[in-house]
Amino acid sequence: MNPSLAKTRIAPRLRGLCAAAALLGAAVAAPASAKPPLKIELTLQGHRFSPSTIQVPSGTPVELSIRNLDPMPEEFDSTALKIEQVIPGGMSATVRLRPLAPGRFPFMGEYHADTAQGVVISR
Amino acid sequence: MLATFLIVLREAIEAGMIVGIVLAATRGVPRRGRWITLGVTCGAAGACVVAAFAGRIAVLFDGAGQELFNSAVLMLAVVMLAWHNMWMASHGRAMARDMRRLGAQVGAGERAPAALAVVCAAALLREGSEVALFLYGVAAGGGVTAPGMLAGGVLGLLGGAALAALMYHGLLRIPAHRLFTVTSGLITLLAAGLASQAVDFVQQAGYFEVGTSTLWNSSWLLSDDSLAGRMVHSLVGYTARPSAAQLAVYVATLGCIVGLTRWLRRSGAVSGAAGG
C-alpha cells in the first residue's frame, strides 16, 4: 500500500485528537467553581482529629485546613470523599472537598486508624 | 505489627502487581532484568527522597503540590504503558519473525524495556513514598512497639514482592504465543486505571472540575478499603465511587490505546507484507 493512502487515514484522527485536546484545555482553564469554598480548620493531635465531626452544607465546596501537631506524618484518607493526602509531622495541609450530596462521609488518618477517625456530615 | 503489615501491604499491592505484569510482558527481551532492576531501584530511592521532601512538595501550587505530583507520576506511567503497547504492535511482528529466523531472541532492541522500567519506577515512587513516610513516622515515634511495627512494615514490603512474583509466575503459565496478547491487555487496563486515578488527583487539587459527580456507589459489593478491592483497583482501576470524569478518562484511555495499537498492527502488517 502506498504511504499517501495511510496518511489520508490518519488525518481525520489527528484532527479529532486536536479538537479533544482543545476542549480539555478550555475546561482546565475555566474558573473552577462559582461558589467560594467554605474554610474549616482542623487540628490533629495525639492521633485524633479535632473537631472530629464536621458539618457542611451540601453542594458547597469546602476547604479543610488541617494542622498536624504531632511530630509524625499522617495520611488523611477517605474513600467516601475520595481523598488521600499525606500531612507531614508539624505541618499543615489543605484538603479540598468537592461539593457533596447530603450524607455521612467518614475519614481517617490511615497511619493511626484506631484513634484518628472523623466524619463529614453534609446536609 | 499486624496493623503495620496491612498498611504497608495495601500500599505495596499496586506496585507489586505492576512489576509482576511488566516482568511477564518483557519475557525474552534481552537485558530486561537490568532495566527493571534499575527502574525498581530508582523508584525506591526516589520514594525516599520524595518522603524526605514531602512537606515542601505539599506546599507547592497553593497547597496542591502533592496531588499534582501524584497525578504527574501516574500520567507518566500511563504514557509509558501506552507507548510500550504501541511499540509491541509495530515491532512485535518483526520481532517474532527475527526470533523464528535466527532461533534466538535478538533484534528486540532496548527501548521497550526502558519504557517499562520507567513504569516500575513510577509505581514504586508513588506508593513507596507513602510507605517511607509511614515507616519513618513509626521509627521516629520510638517506644517499645516500634521494632515490632517496623518488622510488620518489612513483612508488608515482602508481601508486595511476593505478589509481584505470584503475578509473574502466574502469567508465565500462559502459553508463550498467547502471553503477549494477555500482557498487552493487562497493560491496557492498567493504563486506563492509572489514568482515571490521575484525573481524580487533578480534581482533588481543585483543577479540571468537570464531571465530578459520583456515578454510582458499589462499596457494598466491593469496598476500596478491602484487600480484594485494592487488588481489583490496581489491576483494572476499580473504584467503588467513580466520578463521571474518571469513567470518561478510563474509556478514552482504553479506546486510544486499543485504537492506536490496532492501527499500528495493521499498517505494520501491510508494510511487512510489502517489504518481506
pLDDT score recorded for residue A107: 96
Which set of grid coordinates corresponds to residue B102?
Answer: 535466527
pLDDT at B71 > cutoff 60:
yes
pLDDT exceeds cutoff 90 at B171: yes
The CA distance from B149 to A48, in Å, is 20
- Write down the pLDDT at residue B28: 81
- Cross-chain Cβ contact B55/A88 below 8 Å: yes
Torsion of CA B219, B165, B154, B4, to 10 degrees: 10
Distance CA B36, CA B23 (A): 8
Q: Are B26 and B112 in contact (CB under 8 A)?
A: yes
* CB atoms near residue B181 (< 10 Å): 11
Which residue of A33, A63, A72, A87 to mutate against B (max B Cβ within 10 Å)? A72
Write the CA distances from B214 to A60, A90, B240, B243, integer angstroms: 15, 34, 10, 4
What pLDDT, in 10s, does the model give residues B182-234? 999 999 999 999 999 999 999 988 888 888 888 999 989 999 888 899 999 99
Indicate whether B179 pLDDT > 80. Answer: yes
Q: Residue B103: what pLDDT?
A: 46
Is the CB of A45 inside 8 Å of chain B's CB atoms? no
pLDDT for residue B167? 95
Band of residue B88 on the pLDDT scale cut at 50, 70, 90: confident
Q: How high is the mean pLDDT of chain A?
A: 80
DSSP, residue by residue, B95-131? HHHHHHHHSS--S--SHHHHHHHHHHHHHHHHHHHHH
Is the pLDDT score of A51 beyond 70? yes
What is the count of residue pairs from A and B with beta carbons less than 8 Å apart? 82
Write out pLDDT tens, residues A77-113. Answer: 998 898 988 898 888 898 999 888 899 999 999 988 8
What percent of chain B has pLDDT above 70? Answer: 89
In contact, B105 and B30? CB cutoff 8 Å: yes
Chain A neighbors of B140, CB-CB under 8 A: 71-72, 89
- Restricting to B residues 172-211, those with a Cβ less than 8 Å away from any Cβ of A are 200, 203-210
Side by side, which strands form the sheet with A74-78? A53-56, A117-122, A103-109, A74-78, A83-87
Q: What is the pLDDT of residue A35?
A: 73
| For residues B11-19, average pLDDT | 93
Q: Cβ of B243 under 8 Å from any chain A Cβ?
A: yes
**pLDDT at residue B107 above 50?**
no
The interface pTM score, or ipTM, of the predicted complex is: 0.78
> B63 and A94 in contact by Cβ < 8 A?
yes
Q: How far apart are CA B251 and CA B55, in angstroms?
A: 35
* Residues B17-63 pLDDT 10s: 999 999 999 888 878 899 999 999 999 999 999 998 888 888 888 88
Closest-CA distance of chain A to residue B137, Å:
5
Round to whole Å and give the CA distance between B81 and B68: 20
**pTM of the predicted protein model:** 0.84
Binned at pLDDT 50, 70 and 90, residue B16 comes out as very high
Quote the pLDDT of residue B109.
Answer: 53
A28 touches chain B (CB under 8 A): yes
* pLDDT tens per residue across span B110-157: 566 889 999 999 999 998 999 998 888 888 777 778 888 899 999 999
Longest Cα–Cα distance of chain B, Å, equals 72
- What mean pLDDT comes out for the span B248-272? 86
Residue with cell 455521612: A104
Reply yes or no on whether the pLDDT at B177 is more than 90: no
> Which of A59-63, B18-22, B243-247 is predicted with the least confidence, judged by mean pLDDT?
A59-63
